[in-house]
Structure 1
Amino acid sequence: MSELERTFLVDAPPSRPLSLLLLEDSVLDAQLISARFEEAGLDVRLVRVDNQAGFTRALEGCPFDLILSDYNVPGFDGLAALSAARSACPDTPFVFVSGALGEERAIELLKRGATDYVLKDRLDRLVPCVSRALREAEGELRRKRAEEALRKSEERYSLAIRATFDTIWDWDLETDFLHWNDTLQQVFGYTPEQLGSHPDRWAERVHPEEREQVVQGLRGAIGSSVEHWMAEYRFLCADGVWRHVLDRGYIVRESDGRPVRMVGAMQDISERKRTEEERQRLLQEAHRRAEFEQQLMGIVSHDLRNPLSAILMAGTLLLRHQDTQPWQARTASRIVSSAERAHRMIRDLLDFTQARLGGGIPVSPAPLDLHELAAQVVEEARTAHPGRELLLFRTGDAQGRWDADRIAQVLSNILGNALRHGLEGTPVRVETEGTEAQVLMRVHNQGEPIPPDLLPHLFEPLTRGGTRPGHSDRSIGLGLYIVRQIVLAHGGSVEVHSTADEGTLFTVRLPRLADARPASTDEERST
């Protein structure tokens, strides 16, 4: 949990109140917003302004932790408010709280620097949204601190060179006598007497994997006409630790080019090496994340939305046709229902991607019977795979509060994987079991097991469980990652067990969240 969250978004007494600036012309709406924070038990200092002049004055000095703004304020629109806030307080999170925002406008606001948005008829999202905004602001602050720390580290490195804290050595090439200055002990732990005056004593402490290359490079520089030599290698310190060293030398020559002396400096660059490796790791991680988001956005916006819209339109036309037979109407109705659910999933996935995948997938729990939901998902799968046998077992009471679309997405994804990767000619078994405190969903199939080395990473993004020979699979490996995120958003868990003998079994555990009732002993079987 971030520092800001610990300060403002937990039950412990806050060290100081959360300071919010609210641009809102409606006194009633401002009171409703303030009430949301009071209901959450948060100590909030809310400063309300209702016009451009007041908003501009309030921004002076950036005294606020977060800015909330209506999109439509008389004489002052939301884009202008966002621009003013980003100019005066670029690091302060900015959240729109408005009565109506279309999808395109919301995306445009996010692109222009808004942290998030909340609709006024969904103020139950306000506190979680503020929590996410503060968490993202804390992450950005940490990133800037890391960059500042790196800048200061490089500055210290530059000052250290000017202060000549390096270990200085002076080598008489005619007598082969090597002299060390006193910083040798401070940097590497040896006294000049311990390391000795012969170059071989130095060479013995160069790492064996690099010794031959370093020594040959040094001898080659002395034997040539160059004036400078430089090498990086690992050097054994007195405490037995190998340290990364940058060694540089200047070769003094007589007028005829004969080398007579060489003066140089050894610098411990271990910390710089670690900093460079960490920066490379962060850059690679950021690059992978950017590629992932771009790939996801491309698939959602092009590869999925266009054909899905065509399916939805075709199904709707079939339902409206006057000569449609009853069985055709039922089939078209299932097509439309499935397409509408998929369309909602894609919309939510776009919101999820725009939020940079940092705040978890939002869910809207409502009363639901998982037995009925499972039956609907299985029926849709039977329609899509008429040649496969699907068995449905339902046990106990499956009433509770969950997000129906999201849970259907979980079961559809796992069931789709079972049908796709399961052994042809063998049944796929779906179970829903109600217990006293939770409801379990299980999906089992026979076939090639998931490789053991892949199991620990199966629910990570861009991970795929393999494909049967001759089977086409254009998945980007995001499905099971979203499955786990949805289950976690419901306070549940998901696990997988896969062996050659027992097949593959996915188990989802969902707490009832509310309206929990004891499980019954009745069992229903549908084939």
Structure 2
Amino acid sequence: MQSAASELEPHASERPLLLLLLEDSELDARLLRAQLDEAGLTFHLERVSHREDFMRALARGHYDLILSDYNVPGFDGLSALNAARRFLPDTPFLFVTGALGDERAIELLKRGATDYILKDRLERLVPSMRRALREVETEVRRRHTEEALRRSEERYQLVMRATSDVVRDWELETDSVHWSDAVEQVLGCPRAALGSDVEGWTRRIHPEDRERVGEGLRSTLAARTDRWQDEYRFQREDGSYVVVADRGYIVRDAEGRAQRMVGAIQDVTEARRSEEERQRLLSEAKRRVEFEQQLVGIVSHDLRGPLNAILAGASMMLQRDSIEPWQAKTVARILSCAERSNRLIRDLLDFTQARMGGGIPVRPAPVDLHEVTLQVVEEARAGHVERDIQVSQSGDGRGQWDADRISQVVSNLVTNALKYSLEKTPVRVETRGEGERMVLCVHNQGEPIAADLLPRIFEPLRRGKRRASRSDRSIGLGLYIVRELVLAHGGTVDVTSTEAEGTTFTVSLPRTPPAAAEAPAGG
């Protein structure tokens, strides 16, 4: 926007200069207008001739300049000046009048008049108007600058009060430092104790950190960067130390020399203690997991050797023709216990591997799920001759799965159904091909799974409330391992359980394994 002062030039802007003239003489008003026209000004002149119109004009609008005769009938120049200062205090006020004594002229200037021009010397009018408008523009700019500085200082003070950081302002040329009021609250050190130079700050840095901090700061100041930060221990007034994070912004001159650095210091003692404690706990957890993994590996390896020997010896004894019935019964019990122990070791190893984040590895290959299921059911029937296990199969059963792991899924679900169902009720196993997926359902009738347990049934070490026989007891990993193996194949497993409908576990498997089927499943 072009200023009013520039509008006095012959190439004035499109907006005319707005002038208010208090003049009762028509002739004098014409002479004044002619002087402005001769100067080539673009202006709009509003002339009033008595007090009432003058007061209404002041109250109504904005003017770039006010021109006034000193002697108007019924209204003297001093009253007009006072009214103008009250309504439009920033608008230049020029007297254009006849004879005016020096003492009165000085008095009017003291009261706020910008200048005065005698009517017989109107050639001074335009230069005086130009000077008055420049002075106003300069004054407005000065006030705007002062207001901006005041607001900036106010914001600075508010920020220092609002933040929990200590603000430090360091003038490098004079080595003077100003600290915010938060220094005592945050760092436990009175401002007076820090002094007014940087030495008061550096001597409180821990001796083991001081050289590093100083070297880093000097290097940053000598470079062209405008930011510096470090973390160090700072001594409080009571001799104790706090850990602080110190960040600074460097102001440089045109040649890049550092002139000033404004920084913020934050007490991060508790945050560092929390981080150290977190790292300690993580380290302990890692060591504990590694120990548990190693222990499980050692135990399972050491146990499997004797168990394999027991299984082999018991199987050979059962095949002897001369074995007595009571001996056969005892050997069969030994064989059953050894097989159950072997399953527990396998479950424990799978659980450990899954919980360590490695998941349970699967190796898909072409297999028929119908055949795998029938084989597992036949083994279950042989071990539970008193139970009725029914099988129904439909659709194409072929797909890419890990046969051993799928057998483990079916076995765990069938064993679970036998364990938690009434002895006189059947267990139904169904496999059916549905497009690109295979569905396995295992159903049993009996006491339903408790409502509070149902959402967590696949979590490790979760078991139903029904008390199983001593020979059937497990460590509660079967369903957890089922879920992990199903997930490893890219499938899903769900359960429904009601008093009327019984309990059904449903496994859905894609025929094509996931892209990373060889990778372990997430635990």
Instruction: State the TM-score bracket (shorter-chain normalisation).
Output: 0.3 to 0.5
Larger Rg computed on CA atoms: 2
